[in-house]
Structure 1
Amino acid sequence: MTTSNPTPLPHGQPADVGLCPERTQRLMDVLRREVASGRLPGAVALIARQGKIALFDSVGQQDPLAGTVMQNDSIFRIYSMTKPIVSVAVMMLMERGQLLLNDPVGQHLPEFANQRVHTPQGLKAPQQAATVQDLLRHTAGLTYEFLGDSPVHRQYGEVKIASRDRSNAEYCETLAALPLQFEPASVWAYSRATDVLGRLVEVISGQTLGQFLQQEIFEPLGMVDTGFVVTPEQHHRIAEPFEQDPDGGVLMKILDAKQAPKLESGGGGLMSTAMDYARFLQFLHNKGALNGVRLLGPHTVDYMTADHLDGRPIECALLPAGHGFGLGFAVRNAQGVAAVPGSAGLYYWGGIAGTTFFVDPALDMYALMMIQAPNQREYYRPLFRNLVYAALL
């Protein structure tokens, strides 16, 4: 995490950017209601439209156990909202001519050169090798251990693939030795693919993933509070979930934000703030540039946020109807169909602790919500989306 002072993003009033002031306020009132109900510890919400931040506010408690108040600069475990950032890093390397998206993964990471696919008849060689593009769009045949109970899922669990006690190199050696759950390029299956992309960045750049992200993305974009560990002087800003799940469910073990892990997880290891992530979203919405600094070409951002699935089957419910997947983001293909509002061309993702964002280019808008409520995330994500769109004039 850096200590520089970046140029602030412009701010404006809701009415100036086509948002209803009363309905924008209602969004925060609903979040306050949820805090009062005891289901939500606290939240930071941000909406930007027409290049100006029209809402940036916080409610509730940053740390329910300590009783500290949520602040706009509270630091959150963003989990899978790490994936778009690492996907941008890979595309930067592509733009520099250091890789091709149709490169087989094994060309850069030899441990993946001899993978086998699990079938009822036993292990077999894949029909085609997974590529870098497959990793970016989650069609590489990998999985997450918590998404099922197949023999492959169980093997992920047996080797403790979620452990943060391996380096990125050791992690990939362990993962590559496991069977593939699916034929590469055959289905969309959410997976640990972006962790592999993190290692790919290391091998090609010659830096650790954290070093590359800091030097090439965080510093240029002014993301001063984003990293794989929260420094001691910032510990008082860490947002925490409830000690006991308010719905009586099993508590998810969350990342220790204070200890630097051996594994710098490209799929889910970053800590960040609402404003830092807003800077990243503004960079994307600007088609690859922020405050005069360009990290990606405009066409590359359009390419990343287009659907890359081409009708492939969707393996799990994480990708809703009416959506495809690009290179690091879910992509909305139809204004209707899905159970939440949004324009065709919208792209989004979230983290397992409840953080969520979306960018709607057609409406010149992006929004994000930072919370630490893992077991309530499937409620709060659509609630936030509904409230944002309700505020549009």
Structure 2
Amino acid sequence: MTITTLSRAWRGWLAGATLAFAAHAGASAQALPTASPEELGLSSERLGRVGAWLQAEVDAKRIPGAVIMVVRNGRVGYYQAVGRQDPARPDPMSRDSIFRIYSMTKPLVSVATLMLAEEGKLVLEAPVSRYIPSFANTRVGVEKTDPATGAKSLELVPQRRPITVQDLLRHTSGLTYGFFGESLVKKAYLDAGVGAGDFTTAEFAEKLATLPLHYQPGSTWDYSYSTDVLGRVLEVVTGQSLYSVLRGKLLDPLGMKDTSFYVTEPARQARIAEPLPEDRVIGAGATVGNPRIPTKFESGGGGLVSTATDYARFLQMMLNGGSLDGRRYLSPTTVRYMTSDHLGTSVATTPLYLPGAGYGFGLGFAVRKVDGEAPYNSPAGEYNWGGAGGTYFWADPRHNMFVVFMMQSPKQRVPYRSVLRNMVYAAVEK
């Protein structure tokens, strides 16, 4: 079924569901206030298209289900759950279903870092080796090709300057992921078993420090384990585990009660969303993990689970300029600094530059630099990020609006993002 062939009755049902959700949303702990779409300058009928499209995707068995929330002017205007939470069970998707958010962990760790910087406990220009001494000795891997045989080898050369905390925040550290693209450095990551084994955060950082960097620090944007190393910096600075830092700084004060690294309680385990059986590969053969089984590693780059309601609390705080419910987490100046481009013209990008055309990168977020260039809608100043399991968000200060999208479908994580943006902005009437 396509949007253009929806019956009038089906459209009416969707519009009614859009307006009726407000009666139920207040039952959720720490829920944001609600309003009708029209009160917020949004179209009920056009937002209804989003739910209809997602339901059609569920019916076509491309995804098990999804949750979407649209918030404008501090109030929820659209909040819909469609499909099933787990394709192996009859339970419907719920607004409080728990999702693996993978790299949507990064913005939370980045914000906690800037909170500590505001407290004077770390500085962004400091070398990472101030906090993790083993990073003082990292070398950069440069590929050399034998002109006679064509054989490639890796030459290790000194860093031109140290990796800084800012580099970790903006992915210019020279670190990489072994599963994006091909190179001898990436092969060294895979051969070393990075990503395998039950490391502590400290052990993981130490292992990375023994491997060559892919680029000179500060020279190139390359998506990487930088935020995992940043998580270890936070542990060193505070003397606490990363989860304890996140709980104390953000999760507990914001009321993000379902955001954690692992889900050990049976009642919460029953709320974990699952992908389709044939859609569990997140990249390079790695599959969707099981958050029910705790390990020692608390991945600052991709380890958290969360709900739409929880993550909305975090985004509303950011869109408010760093405060929520009378509590200040960051200054408005720091929020603007984090969500500004930190690459400029001095940092190179590669064909694997994930933010894409029209975007720079701030401290934990892709940030839109211009209204145009990107092949999908949103204005300059918007910032966003997503997770390998299918979750995604964007925040738009110009329209005082953010969108949280939760699903577990690695295959559809990229294709759905443009569709969602175009459909949501089609509903913005003023």
Q: TM-score under structure 2 normalisation?
A: 0.88
The secondary structure found in structure 1 opposite 2:79 is: strand
The offset of 1:387, in angstroms, is 1.2
What does residue 308 of structure 1 align with?
Answer: 342
Q: Select which of 13, 16, 40 maps to 1:17.
A: 40
The secondary structure found in structure 1 opposite 2:84 is: strand
Q: Give distance in 2, aligned partners of 1:84 and 1:250.
A: 24
Contact 2:280 2:409 in 1 (8 A): no
The secondary structure found in structure 1 opposite 2:85 is: strand
Question: Are residue 94 (structure 1) and residue 117 (structure 2) matched?
Answer: yes
Contact 1:244 1:251 in 2 (8 A): no
Contact 1:17 1:54 in 2 (8 A): yes
Amino acid across the alignment from 1:305: T
Question: Are residue 211 (structure 1) and residue 234 (structure 2) matched?
Answer: no
Q: Select which of 128, 134, 149 maps to 2:167.
A: 134
What does residue 270 of structure 1 align with?
Answer: 304
The offset of 1:163, in angstroms, is 2.6
What does residue 366 of structure 1 align with?
Answer: 402
Amino acid across the alignment from 2:264: T
The offset of 1:231, in angstroms, is 2.8
Which residues of structure 2 form unaligned runs of 5+?
Answer: 1-27, 145-154
Amino acid across the alignment from 1:16: E
Q: Give distance in 2, aligned partners of 1:269 and 1:216.
A: 17
Contact 1:322 1:334 in 2 (8 A): yes
Q: Write the deviation string for residues 300-342 of structure 1: whole angstroms up to 9, x where unpaired.
A: 0110000000122212141210100000000000100001100
The secondary structure found in structure 2 opposite 1:15 is: helix
Q: Give distance in 1, aligned partners of 2:259 and 2:106.
A: 14
Q: Select which of 282, 289, 293 maps to 1:255.
A: 289
Question: Are residue 225 (structure 1) and residue 261 (structure 2) matched?
Answer: no
Q: Give distance in 1, aligned partners of 2:55 and 2:286.
A: 24
Contact 1:288 1:297 in 2 (8 A): yes
Q: Give distance in 2, aligned partners of 1:173 and 1:51.
A: 42
The offset of 1:6, in angstroms, is 5.2
Map residues 1-393 of structure 1 onto 2, 5 A cutoff.
Answer: 7-121=30-144, 122-163=155-196, 165-232=198-265, 233-245=267-279, 252-311=286-345, 312-315=347-350, 316-393=352-429
Q: Give distance in 2, aligned partners of 1:369 and 1:8.
A: 16
The offset of 1:120, in angstroms, is 2.6
Contact 1:228 1:261 in 2 (8 A): no
Amino acid across the alignment from 1:256: N
Q: Give distance in 2, aligned partners of 1:14 and 1:147.
A: 40
Contact 1:353 1:373 in 2 (8 A): yes
Q: Give distance in 1, aligned partners of 2:49 and 2:280.
A: 24
Counterparts in 2 of 1:27 and 1:157: CA distance versus 1, 3 Å: same
Q: Give distance in 2, aligned partners of 1:246 and 1:229.
A: 18
The CA RMSD measured in Å over matched residues stands at: 1.5
Q: Write the deviation string for residues 48-87 of structure 1: whole angstroms up to 9, x where unpaired.
A: 0011100111001100012321000000000000000000
Amino acid across the alignment from 1:133: Q
Contact 1:330 1:347 in 2 (8 A): yes
Q: Write the deviation string for residues 208-251 of structure 1: whole angstroms up to 9, x where unpaired.
A: 0011111221011110100001132211100000012399x997
Contact 1:164 1:263 in 2 (8 A): no
Contact 1:118 1:180 in 2 (8 A): yes
Q: Give distance in 2, aligned partners of 1:8 and 1:371.
A: 20
Q: Write the deviation string for residues 129-188 of structure 1: whole angstroms up to 9, x where unpaired.
A: 110001000000011111122111111111221136100010011001000000110011
Q: Give distance in 2, aligned partners of 1:7 and 1:193.
A: 32
Q: Give distance in 2, aligned partners of 1:167 and 1:321.
A: 37
Q: Give distance in 2, aligned partners of 1:267 and 1:245.
A: 22
What does residue 147 of structure 2 align with?
Answer: none
Q: Give distance in 2, aligned partners of 1:386 and 1:252.
A: 31
Q: Write the deviation string for residues 342-374 of structure 1: whole angstroms up to 9, x where unpaired.
A: 010000000001100000000110001000000
Q: Give distance in 2, aligned partners of 1:148 and 1:346.
A: 28
Amino acid across the alignment from 2:374: A
Q: Give distance in 2, aligned partners of 1:114 and 1:250.
A: 29
Amino acid across the alignment from 2:194: I
The offset of 1:252, in angstroms, is 4.8
Q: Give distance in 1, aligned partners of 2:417 and 2:179.
A: 20
Q: Give distance in 2, aligned partners of 1:12 and 1:174.
A: 50
Q: Give distance in 1, aligned partners of 2:29 and 2:238.
A: 25
The offset of 1:9, in angstroms, is 1.1
Length, aligned pairs only? 388
